[in-house]
């Protein structure tokens, strides 16, 4: 049985209880962690909002990252909490991330070791539409670009270690893992 790449259990720092830098170590949280149960995303909470920053580095276990995708919208982060989300998401038909694209003769992704070509496309644009269902997501921006997650796995890179496809599994629902967060510091239990 396959394991889900969708991650649903989170903690965030309680800014009223900061941890001094000399006590948290290199990989510790900035404050005491509290459970975070985000509400399901409502389209009206993001439509019309400007994208101020884009990253594939949201989420941590403490010693490593989960690779959630995020777009900062003013002081909130529109987060897609899929492990290695950039390998699931396309913008204008091109994968956001694909580490082994050269090995499989796939197109160069938006973000890779050569740099980030996605931020200049999305930063400054506004979200004009968003639709999230159990197994798909579509978002359009004021500059004409679109972001997608499709149910079919044929466009996603395989897991390099197991050579298995990146699939949705029984019980997966994107509506559970697309949400607004007050911080990009999201800890995974």
Tell me the average pLDDT of the chain.
95
Q: What pLDDT digit, counting tens, does each position of 61-91 carry?
A: 887 899 999 999 999 999 999 999 999 999 9
Encoding tokens for residue 181? 């967060």
**pLDDT at 107 > cutoff 80:** yes
Q: What percent of the chain has pLDDT over 90?
A: 89
Query: Residue 71 domain-assigned?
Result: yes
Query: Residue 4 domain-assigned?
Result: no
Secondary structure in 3-state letters for 49-84 = CECCEEEEEEEECCCCEEEEEEEEECCEEEEECECC
**pLDDT at 13 > cutoff 70:** yes
**Band of pLDDT at residue 140, cut at 50, 70 and 90:** very high
* Residue partners of 50: CB distance under 8 A and separation at least 6: 73, 74, 124, 125, 126
- How many Cβ atoms are within 10 Å of 77's Cβ, its own excluded? 23
Query: Residue 41 domain-assigned?
Result: yes
**pLDDT at 150 > cutoff 80:** yes
pTM equals: 0.95
How many whole angstroms from its chain centre is CA 73? 14
Query: Residue 3 domain-assigned?
Result: no
**Band of pLDDT at residue 26, cut at 50, 70 and 90:** confident
**Which structural domain, as residue segments, surrounds residue 90?**
10-188
H-helix or E-strand spanning residue 111: strand 111-112
pLDDT of residue 1: 47
pLDDT of residue 178: 99
Query: Residue 2 domain-assigned?
Result: no
**pLDDT at 189 > cutoff 90:** no
Kindly report the CA angle at 118 between 72 and 185, in degrees rounded to 5?
35
H-helix or E-strand spanning residue 13: strand 10-18
Query: Residue 1 domain-assigned?
Result: no
Query: Residue 167 domain-assigned?
Result: yes
In the chain, how many domains are there?
A: 1
Query: Residue 37 domain-assigned?
Result: yes
Mean pLDDT calculated for residue range 124-132: 99
């Amino acid at each position: 049985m396959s394991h889900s790449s969708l991650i649903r259990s989170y903690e965030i720092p309680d800014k009223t209880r900061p941890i001094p830098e000399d006590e948290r170590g290199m990989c510790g949280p900035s404050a005491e962690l509290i459970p975070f149960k985000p509400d399901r995303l409502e389209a009206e909470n993001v439509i019309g909002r400007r994208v101020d920053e884009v990253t594939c580095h949201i989420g941590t276990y403490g010693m490593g990252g989960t690779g959630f995708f995020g777009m900062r919208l003013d002081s909130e982060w529109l987060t897609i909490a899929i492990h290695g989300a950039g390998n699931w998401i396309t913008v204008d038909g091109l994968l956001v991330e694909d580490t082994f694209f050269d090995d499989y003769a796939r197109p160069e992704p938006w973000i890779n070791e050569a740099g980030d070509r996605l931020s200049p496309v999305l930063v400054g644009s506004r979200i004009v539409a968003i639709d999230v269902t159990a197994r798909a997501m579509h978002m359009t921006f004021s500059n004409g670009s679109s972001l997608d997650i499709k149910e079919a796995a044929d466009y996603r890179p395989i897991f390099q270690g197991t050579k298995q496809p990146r699939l949705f599994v029984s019980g997966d629902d994107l509506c559970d893992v697309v949400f607004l967060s007050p911080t990009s510091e999201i800890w995974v239990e």
